[in-house]
Amino acid sequence: MSGIKVQDFYDMRFLGNLNVANGRVFFEVFKPVEKSNKYESEILELTDNGTAKYTRGNEDRDSVIDRTGFRMAYLTRVDKKTSIFIKNIETGEERKLWETELIVKKMQWDSISKGLFIVVQDKPKDDNFRIVEKYPIYFNGEGFYPSSNYKILHLRLNGNTKKILGSDGQISDFAVDPSTQRLAVVERPDKWDIYDSRIGILDLGTGEIQYIKGVKGGIDTPVYDKDGTLYFFYSKHQRSIFESQKIYRYSNGNLENLLDKYDISPENSVNSDSRMGQSKTATVHDGLLYFVATVGGRAGIYRIGSSKKLEAVVSGDFSVDSFDFKGDAIYYIGQSSSIPQEIYLYDGKIKRLTAVNSKIERNVLNKPSNFKMTASDGKEVEGWFLKGKGKGTILEIHGGPRTSYGDAFILEFHLLNSLGFNVIYTNPRGSDSYGDDFALEIKGKYGERDYKDILEIVDYSSKKFSVNKDYFGVIGGSYGGFMVNWIIGHTNQFRAAVTDRSISDQVSFYFSSDIGPRFNSDQIGGNPYDDLDHYWAKSPLKYIRNVKTPLLIVHSDEDYRCPVWQAYEMFTQLKLQGSEARLIVFKGENHDLSRGGKPKNRVKRLEEIKKWFEDRLS
C-alpha cells in the first residue's frame, strides 16, 4: 500500500485527555464512523501489551481522576442527554451518578473526593424564532445567544446538586484548590468584550468570590499546587489581543509574572487536523509548573518555578498534545509531521508505547524537509517541503493569524502529497512561536509583509527544490483563506486556488462575525465608520476584478467566526464577471469543519479539494 487516500480518514484515531491514576495510565480515543456519521469515543488504559478498553460505552469521554487516584468520573452523551458515571479504579465497579439535559462544559473532583464541581449551561430553546438582546449575536460552535446562564454546581456522590456560583456571562475554566475549600474561576461577564476575562477566588464556605485586582484580558489554564499556590496563563492585551500569554503565580495575595524575561508561547499552537478531545497541558510537580509551549513550530513540555528559570524538559521535532506524571516519568500524547498521535514515555529518554494509528502508518508517508528562508528584509522565515511525484506544487497557508505550522500531523497535506503534489507549508510574518514582534508585525498591515513572505517562499522553494513555478496552487483557511483571496486579487501566479472559511469583506466581517468588532479594531485598525477607505482597502473583495485564478470556495452555513456571506460575496462577483469559481457550503457545520466536522463532511471537503487541484495542476 502506498500513500494516503481520502477514505483513509476513517482509519484515523484521535487521542486526548491522558490521565495517570495510581500508576495506571488512561486516555481517550475518538474514532470517525462512516455508517453513523459520528465519532465514537472510548476511554482506554495503557497496558503492558498495548491498550485495553476501560469503560464499556462508545460515547465515553472527558474523564477526571480524584485526588486519591481511586475514582474516575466521565461523561457519556446519548440521545441529547449527558450522563456522569463514577468508576472505582481499584475494584472496577461503576455506576451512573447523574443525568441531565444541561450542557456540561467542564468537571473536576472536589478536594475531599465527596463529589464533583461541574460547569453547566442551559440549552437554547428550540423555537421557530430567535429573540436576541445581547451582543455578540452568536458564537461559533455554540449558536445564537443567549448562551449565558452558566453556573457551577456541586454534584454529591448521592446524586444531589447544589448551585455554587452563577454567571450572567461565561464561565470558561476553573480549578480546585487542594489545600482548602476554594475554587479559582475564570469568567467573562455579560457586558465584557469577547476577548476579556477575569479570574476570581471563590470561597466555598461563604459563597463569596474575590477577583484578583487589575487582572483583565486573555486568561485560561488555572492550575493549583498542593499548597494552594495558583498558576494561570494571562495576556494583558497591551499591544494586541494576539500578544503571547505569560504565566502568573498567585500566592498569599501576591501576583508574579514568571515569564517576564521570556518571549515564548504557552500552549500548543501547532496546526493539526488530527486531534480531538480535552488536553491536560499544565500541571504542578515537585513545586514546578510543567506546561506545553510552542517554539519554532514545535510544541514541547517546559517547566518554571519561583526562581523564574525556564527549562525545556521534553522537546524535539514533534508536538505534545497532553501529558501527565507517573512518579517522575512523563507520559504524553505526541505527534509529528509524518506520524499521527501516539503515546510516549519520557524518563530521561523518549520511548514510544502505542500503535493506535498503525493503519495510517502502514501507508508510505513522506517526511518533510525543513528549511529556513531569509526574507528580503533580512528576517528568517521557516517552512517545510513535502516532495511529490509528477504533479504541481500546493502552498498551504494557516489560519489565526497567530498559529503555526510545524511538526504535527496534517492528513490533508499527506493526502495531497500522496496524489503526487509537492506540498509547502510555512510560517510567514504573523505566525506564532517566533516571538511577539514576529507575530504582531502584520497588525494593521494585512496583505503587506505577510503577502511578501508568501511570494518569496514560492520563489525560494522553486529554486531550492527545483519545482516548476508555473504549476503552483494555493489553499488556506480562515486568515489563510483571507490570504488566498488577497493573493489571487494581486497576482496571477497561481493556476488554482482553494479558499476555506475565509474573509473577503472586512466591513461586513466587522459587523457580523462573533469576534468582528474587537478582532478587526485590533488587527485591521479602527472601525469602518471612522476609516471606511482603510477597511475597504484591506478587503480582498476590492481587488476581485483582477482575479484570473480558478477558485474553489469552501464554507459552512453555521460558521459564525467567518460568516458564510463572506463566501457568498466572493462567489457572486466572480460569477458576475465570468470568472471560474465553484462554491460548496456544508449544512450544519461551523468554522471547525476541517478538524471537528461530521466525518462524511470532512471526507467530502477533502474530495472537493483533491479534484479541484487534480483537474488544474496535473
pLDDT recorded at residue 1: 38
Q: What is the pLDDT of residue 143?
A: 85
The domain segmentation of the chain, as residue ranges, is: 94-257, 369-617
Q: Residue 569, Cα to own-chain centre: how many angstroms?
A: 27
Q: Which residues, in sequence order, are CB contacts of 490 under 8 Å at separation 6+?
A: 447, 451, 543, 546
Residues 6+ apart with CB under 8 A from 502: 476, 477, 478, 480, 481, 482, 484, 485, 553, 555, 562, 566, 567, 570
What are the start-end ranges of the H helices in 513-564?
A: 516-520, 532-537
Q: Tell me the one-letter amino acid at 375.
A: A
Question: Which CATH number is associated with domain 369-617?
Answer: 3.40.50.1820
pLDDT digits (tens, 9 = 90+) for 43-52: 999 999 899 9
Cα–Cα distance, 326 to 551 (Å, whole number): 51
Mean pLDDT of the chain: 96
- pLDDT category at 148 given cuts 50, 70, 90 is low
Sign of CA dihedral 138, 141, 143, 146: negative
Is residue 146 pLDDT above 60, yes or no? no
Shared fold status for 94-257 and 369-617? no
Q: Which of the residue ranges 130-144, 313-327, 485-499 would you say has the lowest mean pLDDT? A: 130-144
Beta-bridged to residue 143, according to DSSP, are: 139
Long-range Cβ contacts of 133-141 (<8 Å, 24+ apart): 134/190, 136/194, 136/514, 136/515, 137/514, 138/514, 138/560, 139/194, 139/514, 139/560, 140/514, 140/559, 140/560, 140/561, 140/590, 140/591, 140/592, 141/560, 141/590, 141/591, 141/592
Question: Can you give the pTM of this predicted structure?
Answer: 0.97
**Does residue 548 surpass a pLDDT of 80?**
yes
Q: What is the per-residue pLDDT across 343-372, written as a single tens digit (0 to 9) for each?
A: 999 999 999 999 999 999 999 799 999 999
3-state SS, residue 599:
helix
pLDDT of residue 126: 76
Strand positions, DSSP E, 490-580: 496-500, 551-556
Cell 514515555 belongs to residue = 345
With cut-offs at 50, 70 and 90, classify the pLDDT of residue 618.
confident
Angstrom distance (rounded) from CA 147 to CA 170: 8
Confidence of residue 390 (pLDDT cuts 50, 70, 90): confident
Does position 552 have pLDDT exceeding 80, yes or no?
A: yes
Q: Quote the CA–CA distance of 171 and 199 in Å, as a whole number.
A: 10
Residue found by looking up cell 505534545 in the block: 320
- Is residue 123 very low, low, confident or very high in pLDDT (cuts 50, 70, 90)? confident
Closest CA to 319 of 395, 267, 370: 267
Render pLDDT for 289-309 as a digit per residue (tens, 0 to 9). Answer: 999 999 999 999 999 999 999
Report, in this order, helix, strand and coil percent for the chain, each rounded to 5: 20, 40, 45
Rounded (5°) CA angle 441-304-269: 40
Q: Which amino acid is at 39?
A: Y
Q: Which residues contact 4 (CB under 8 A, 6 or more apart)?
A: 360, 363, 365, 411, 414, 415, 417, 418
State the pLDDT confidence band at 134, using cuts at 50, 70 and 90. Answer: confident
How does residue 147 score in pLDDT terms, banded at 50, 70 and 90? Answer: low
pLDDT of amino acid 541: 98
Q: Cβ(302)–Cβ(310) under 8 Å?
A: yes
Pairing of strands 103-109, 94-100: unpaired
SS3 65: strand
- What whole-number percentage of the chain has pLDDT above 90? 92
Which pLDDT score is estimated for 528?
98
Tens of pLDDT, residue by residue over 458-505, are 999 999 999 999 999 999 999 999 999 999 999 999 999 999 999 999
Q: What is the mean pLDDT of residues 247-257?
A: 97
d(CA 43, CA 36): 20
Contact residues for 327 (Cβ-Cβ < 8 A; gap 6+)? none
The SS3 call for residue 328 is coil
* Residues paired with residue 257 on neighbouring β-strands, in sequence order: 248
Label the pairing between strands 71-78 and 60-65: antiparallel
| CATH (residue range 94-257) | 2.130.10.10
* 450, pLDDT greater than 50: yes
Q: What is the DSSP string of 193-218?
A: -TT-BEEEEEETTT--EEEPTT--BE
Checking if the pLDDT of 127 tops 80, the result is no
Characterize 41-80 residue by residue with b for buried, 16 or more Cβ atoms within 10 angstroms of its Cβ, and e for exposed: bbbbebeeeebeebbebbbbbbbbbbeebebbbbbbbeee
Give the Cα separation of 40 and 91 in Å (integer). 26
Task: Transcribe 66-100 into DSSP letters.
Answer: -TTSSEEEEEEEETTEEEEEEEETTT--EEEEEEE
Pairwise CA distance, residues 299 & 319, whole Å: 4
Q: Which amino acid is at 254?
A: N
Give CA separation, 394 vs 230, 297, 555, 617, in Å. Answer: 46, 20, 20, 9
pLDDT at position 144 is: 83
More confident residue, 486 or 79: 486
Beta bridge partners of 476: 397, 499
Return d(Cα 345, Cα 243) in angstroms, integer. 32
